[in-house]
């Protein structure tokens, strides 16, 4: 995690991305569409003394991914924990692949309800999955371990 560029989509309270910063991530971009949550997250980053290594966007995650694909660089770790039951994991993974924002050896960690299985995503492969009660975690990388 040390030195990683991290993208926390559907950030909510920012717990996942904050954990990355506390474990040595060089930079974390938080994307949360609710302005009040984004504002609170900015305050928490400042209070934690890590705002110099973080940025918060108050916008829709899929729109942010498209914008990032227009030249913002690639991320070593992409975290996503969208609202359950809305098929957002598959849509977001596909958007990530299309935008080419995952580093060649990067990983996407997706959390959702176990019924929200994203299925096959062209260009990405599920390297690992785990179930914890009703929650499932999926870890994706570029298929073949190579970038886009």
Angle at the Cα of 24 from the Cα atoms of 127 and 133, rounded to 5 degrees: 45
pTM beyond 0.85: the answer is yes
pLDDT at 147: 45
The pairing of strands 102-113 and 135-142 is antiparallel
CATH number of the domain encompassing residue 59: 3.40.50.150
Task: State the Cα torsion 60-61-64-68 to the nearest 10°.
Answer: 180
pLDDT at 84 over 60: yes
108: containing domain: 5-145
Residues 147 and 129: beta-carbon distance below 8 Å: no
The C-alpha atoms of residue 111 and residue 12 are separated, in whole angstroms, by 13
Q: Report which of residues 133 and 72 the model is more confident about.
A: 133
Q: What is the DSSP string of 55-119?
A: EEE-S-HHHHHHHHTTTS--EEEEEE-PPTTS-HHHHHHHHHHHHT-EEEEEEEEEEEEGGG---
pLDDT 10s digits, 5-31: 999 999 999 999 999 999 999 999 999
| Of the listed ranges 31-35, 78-82, 83-87, 107-111, the one predicted with least confidence | 83-87
Count of domains observed in the chain: 1
Write down the mean pLDDT value for the chain.
92
pLDDT 10s digits, 44-78: 999 999 999 999 999 999 999 999 998 767 999 99
pLDDT at 148: 44
pLDDT 10s digits, 91-128: 999 999 999 999 999 999 999 988 888 988 999 999 99
């Amino acid at each position: 995690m040390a030195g990683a560029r991290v993208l926390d989509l559907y950030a909510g309270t920012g717990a996942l991305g904050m954990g990355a910063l506390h474990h040595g991530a060089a930079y974390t971009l938080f994307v949360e569409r609710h302005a009040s949550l984004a504002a609170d997250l900015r305050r928490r980053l400042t209070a934690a003394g890590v705002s110099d290594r973080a940025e918060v966007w108050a916008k829709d995650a899929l729109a942010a991914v498209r914008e990032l694909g227009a030249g913002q660089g690639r991320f070593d770790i992409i975290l996503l924990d969208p609202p359950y039951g809305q098929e957002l994991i598959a849509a977001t993974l596909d958007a990530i692949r299309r935008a080419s924002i995952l580093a060649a050896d990067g990983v996407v960690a997706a959390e959702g309800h176990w019924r929200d299985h994203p299925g096959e995503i062209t260009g990405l492969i599920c390297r690992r999955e785990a179930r914890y009660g009703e929650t499932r975690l999926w870890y994706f990388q570029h298929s073949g371990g190579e970038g886009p």
